[in-house]
Every structure is written in C-alpha cells, then in structure tokens.
DNA sequence: CGACGGGGTGACGCTTTTGTGACAGGTGGC
DNA sequence: GCCACCTGTCACAAAAGCGTCACCCCGTCG
C-alpha cells in the first residue's frame, strides 16, 4: 500500500530521516520545510496523507491543518501530527482540529510507518466485504474461507486472491497480463506463464469437489470463471 | 470523563456541529455519514457510546441499533438516538430497541453533552457482559475466567484479552495489525511478530485441554478462531 | 505430415511466513 | 532486595507457497 505523502517539517535532519524511511517503504514523499511551500505542494499534487510537524515557523501546524480542512479538495486528506513529547494539550487541540492521529517525537521509523498504514487503511473505503457466490462455490473475504457445496476448500494466499478476483468478475475473460496486474499487483514482475500454474493449482483444489470446470480456458485470450458448465 | 463516541449522522452540517462540541468537551469523535461506514468503525474502534441519527439513508437507525445489540462486543455500548422533534412514536420504538436515551433535534450542545455524561455515568459500572462460548471453550468476562471442557485454563492478561477478542469475533480472520490495534490498543507500538508469540502462548495454554486447534493460522493474512476443526 | 503456438503439468530450488525456545527487562508482592 | 509472573524481541528452525522450467499434449495450418 503505497501513497503520496506530504511531509511538512522544518527541521532538515528530521525531514530527511522521515523521507528515507517512507521511501524505503515504497511511499512517494513530497517534502516541505515550511507551511508556504507545503501549501503550494498541496495544490499541485493533492497528497494521500499529510505528515505535519506541530511546531512550524510562521503559521502553526494548527493553522495549516485548519486550512486543509477548510478546502473541499483537501477536507478528507488524513493528517498525522508530529508533536514533541509531553505536549498533551497540543495533541488534544490537534485532534480536535482534525488530525487523524499523532506521533510524538522522538519516534521510531517503524512506529511512524505503522501509524501511516493504520490511517491509510482507515481511510480507504474497504471494498465490499460481502461473500461471493457463483454456482455453489462460495468465498467469504471476512472469514477468508472458500466452500464448494458445503465442503471447505483449502487455498494458498495467491490462489485465494486469484479466485476472489475471478469470482468478483465472473463470466468475463481475463488475459494473463490483466490477472497479473489485478491479482499480483501492478508493479510486480513475474512470468505470464505463472498464471497458468496458479490456475492449475486452483483447479486442482476445486477438483476435489468437482467444481474445477468452473474455470475455463479461452484459447489465445486467457481464463474465465463461469457458472455455466463448460460444454465440450 | 472523556470517551470515544461514534457519531452516525448523514447531515454533514449537523455532524460537524456535534463533532466540534464533543471534541471541545474532550471526547474522541469518530464520524460516520452512513450506516455502512459506521459499522466498519464499530468493528475497528469499539466506541464507548454511539450517537445515532434516527433517519439514515439505506438502513434505518432502528436496524443499526438492533445490529449493535446483536453483537456480543457491542451489546453493552450505550446508544443515544437523535430524532426530529415530534416523532414521539419513534422515540418509543427507539427506546425499546435498546437506545439508552434520545435527544430531539434541534438540540442545544449543552443538552447533548449533559445527556452523554449522564449515560456514560450510568454505564460505567460495566453492565454484566455475557460469557462467550465457542465449542466447549468458555470465557467469562466478569469473573475473568476461562474454562475448556470444564477444566480451568490459566492465562496471562494479554492472552486473556487476545482470546476474548478472538472469541467475540470468531470465524473472522484478523491481521496482526488489527489484533494489535484491538487487543494491545491503538497507540501502543509493538512488533507485529509479538502477536505470533502470544498466539503461541495462548495455544500452549489451550493445548492442555486439546483445544489448541481452535486458533487457526491463515497464511499471509493473520489468525482466526473457529469452531470448525482446522482442515488438512 | 511436420512445424508451430498455446496451454497443461510435475518437479524443484528458493523465498517468505510462521512456529518456537530463550532471554533480558519490568512489575508488584512481600 | 528477592521472587514469581509477564512481556516484547530475537535468532533460528520448520513450513508453506511461489515462480520457473522443461517437457508433454493437442489442434492448426501450410
């Protein structure tokens, strides 16, 4: 889960420290040493999250946060405040101004990352969590369980995601590349044929319940999960 | 006396008004504009109190309240209903569904706060929570005792809370991060792997009674407590 | 008929994820 | 201060999955 993160921190050393860690975690960092620069950046890139130092020269973090909340476009961008230890009243004030979380300095990079993940997770409107059903195959994202005609089907993580995707987009044909993008992730680089292997593993797992025919091969195009039995 | 308050209200203006006032009074506000969001928040943060608008788009306040009462974890979370003036019959119905109090719109912030304080005060002496049972494992939140098939199981505080949470959300898969948030607390920072260790300690404690298989590992996702025996 | 492109399969190192035992604090009772 | 009990982290072992290959089969098409 990577995101564009605007880091507003006037202390260059800390700014750099943060940047290094966020980047290592795969996030995109936009650095700003003062509120003025930050404001410009906000306009230009519309970050996914703002890391905001509480003590800024000139305009305070409080004020900056307030402006973010005032603008329709940035109203929903989550804010994490950086505060010096023990400024309890600031924390309270910060949270009331609309910060989503805070981290006290000094902080461990790990903690910072964890909080960022937490806030981003809270933010994303988690795709529909309802169980999927196709023919009497049933996949429940919440319990992470797959059953076919009552019997439980055991799948590895990748097969689970693959089936999840196929069931969510049943009847449609997906090329190997599409499947790689959707199931493995956009940036991951693996052989296209790898998809074949996982399809096979998935079929093998479903075979025990006689549902392996659900996944059909469309020669030259890709794969499709269909409720209609594949005619031959 | 500050508390985490979930505000379910679809009108942004009112939502904001409420939020400002609650925050000023030192409460932590979790805002939700619709029932769907609210439900997610409930799962994540387990609020101390729910402020619930009667007229919600989609699922009604009544229905939402009923669901809160249906879940073991939220059974005892007090609910204050917000109703439009003059919907007397609604009020009655609301109270019978389990709302603890109601406030008619328009309301004064002072009145709202007063009612909240009152309900919280009334609530404090934790109403007796029901014991949880999964397969013949039994956990009693009141006596803080766990028994499996009659025999008592000895747990440390953390393991107890962990088991409590898992039992309250049986069948569901929880990531390590979720468990840390829920069992350790939002602002505690410990390694994710720490969860593994506690899961192991929990399993070890249950092993004596042969119930250790209740806690299953879902590779790549987390852990799950399930009555169904783990397949293999 | 033989070359060919596509897809199915079984095997196999390798990496990632979990399970585990040990350990260095920390806390509260005494 | 000493003990008994918990806790969070590590390092290492054990699994469980993963991505690739090589090889096979099969329908197509010149």
- pLDDT-derived band at A180 (thresholds 50, 70, 90) equals very high
Give me the domain span that covers residue A111: 4-123
Give the CA B158 to C1' D2 distance in Å: 25
Compute and round to an integer the Cα radius of gyration of chain B.
20
Helix (H) or strand (E) segment spanning residue A110: helix A109-123
The three-class DSSP label of residue B51 is strand
Note whether B150 and B87 are same-domain residues: no
Distance in angstroms (rounded) separating the CA atoms of residues B80 and B100: 6
**Residue A232 falls inside a structural domain:** no
Residue A163's pLDDT is 96
Query: Based on the structure, what is the number of domains in chain B?
Result: 2
Bigger pLDDT: B77 vs A58: B77
Q: What average pLDDT does chain B have? A: 77
A88: left (phi over 0), alpha (psi -120 to 50) or beta: alpha
Q: Which of B107, B58, B111, B59 is nearest to B83 (CA)?
A: B107
Contacts with B24 from chain A: Cβ below 8 Å:
96
Contacts with A152 from chain B: Cβ below 8 Å:
228, 231
Interface pTM (ipTM) of the complex? 0.69
Residues whose CB falls within 8 Å of the CB of residue A57, separated by 6 or more in sequence, listed in order: A10, A34
**Residue B37 falls inside a structural domain:** yes
Nearest residue of B to residue A91, measured between CA atoms: B26
Domain endpoint, select from A123, A148, A182: A123
Nearest residue of A to residue B191, measured between CA atoms: A110
Name the percent of chain B lying above pLDDT 90.
17
Bigger pLDDT: B173 vs B125: B173
Give the CA B15 to C1' D7 distance in Å: 41
Nucleotide nearest to A192 (CA to C1'): D19
Work out if B159's Cβ lies within 7 angstroms of strand D.
Answer: yes
DSSP line for A157-197: HHHHHHHHHHHHTTT-EE-HHHHIIIII-TT----THHHHH
Q: Is the CB of A157 less than 8 angstroms away from the CB of B220?
A: yes
Residues of B numbered 159-188 whose beta carbons fall under 8 angstroms of chain A's beta carbons: which are they? Answer: 171-173, 177, 181, 186
Q: Is the CB of A143 less than 8 angstroms away from the CB of B172?
A: yes
**Residue B70 falls inside a structural domain:** yes
Cis ω on the peptide bond leading into residue B185 (within 30° of 0)?
no
Bigger pLDDT: A12 vs A86: A12
Domain endpoint, select from B89, B123, B157: B123
**Residue A230 falls inside a structural domain:** no
Contacts with A156 from chain B: Cβ below 8 Å:
219-220
Note whether A70 and A14 are same-domain residues: yes
Describe the strand order of the beta sheet including A173-174 as a list of residue ranges.
A173-174, A222-225, A215-218
Note whether A181 and A100 are same-domain residues: no
A212 has pLDDT over 80: no
State the CATH number of the domain containing residue B221. 1.10.10.10
- pLDDT-derived band at B72 (thresholds 50, 70, 90) equals low
Contacts with B22 from chain A: Cβ below 8 Å:
none
Using an 8 Å Cβ cutoff, are A179 and A224 in contact?
no
Helix (H) or strand (E) segment spanning residue A117: helix A109-123
**Residue B215 falls inside a structural domain:** yes
Mean pLDDT of B162-184: 88
State the CATH number of the domain containing residue A57. 3.40.50.2300
Chain C bases closer than 7 angstroms to a protein Cβ: 6-11, 17-22
Q: Is the CB of B177 less than 8 angstroms away from the CB of A118?
A: yes
**Residues linked to residue A84 through DSSP beta bridges, in sequence order:** A105
B56 has pLDDT over 60: yes
Residue with the two structure tokens 């946060």: A65
Hits for CB < 7 Å against strand D across B residues 213-232: 219-220
B121 Cβ under 8 Å from any chain A Cβ? no
């Amino acid at each position: 889960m990577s995101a564009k993160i605007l880091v507003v921190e006037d202390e260059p050393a800390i700014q750099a420290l943060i940047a290094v860690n966020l980047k290592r975690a795969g996030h995109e960092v936009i650095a700003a040493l003062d509120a003025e620069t930050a404001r410009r950046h906000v306009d230009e890139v519309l970050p996914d999250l703002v890391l905001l130092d509480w003590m800024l020269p000139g305009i305070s973090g409080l004020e900056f946060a307030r402006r973010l909340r005032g603008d329709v476009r940035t109203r929903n961008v989550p804010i994490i405040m950086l505060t010096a230890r023990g400024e309890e009243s600031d924390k309270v004030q910060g949270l009331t101004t609309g910060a989503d979380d805070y981290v006290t300095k000094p902080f461990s990079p790990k903690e910072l990352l964890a909080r960022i993940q937490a806030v981003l997770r809270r933010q994303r409107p988690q795709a529909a969590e309802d169980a999927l059903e196709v023919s009497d195959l049933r996949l429940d994202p919440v319990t992470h369980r797959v059953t076919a005609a009552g019997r439980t089907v055991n799948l590895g993580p990748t097969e689970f995601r693959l089936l999840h995707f196929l069931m969510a987009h049943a009847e449609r044909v997906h090329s190997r590349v599409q499947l790689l993008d959707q199931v493995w992730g956009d940036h991951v680089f693996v052989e296209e044929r790898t998809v074949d292997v996982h399809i096979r593993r998935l079929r093998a797992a479903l075979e025990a319940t006689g549902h392996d025919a659900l996944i059909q091969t469309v020669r030259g195009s890709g794969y499709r999960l269909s409720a209609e039995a594949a005619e031959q």
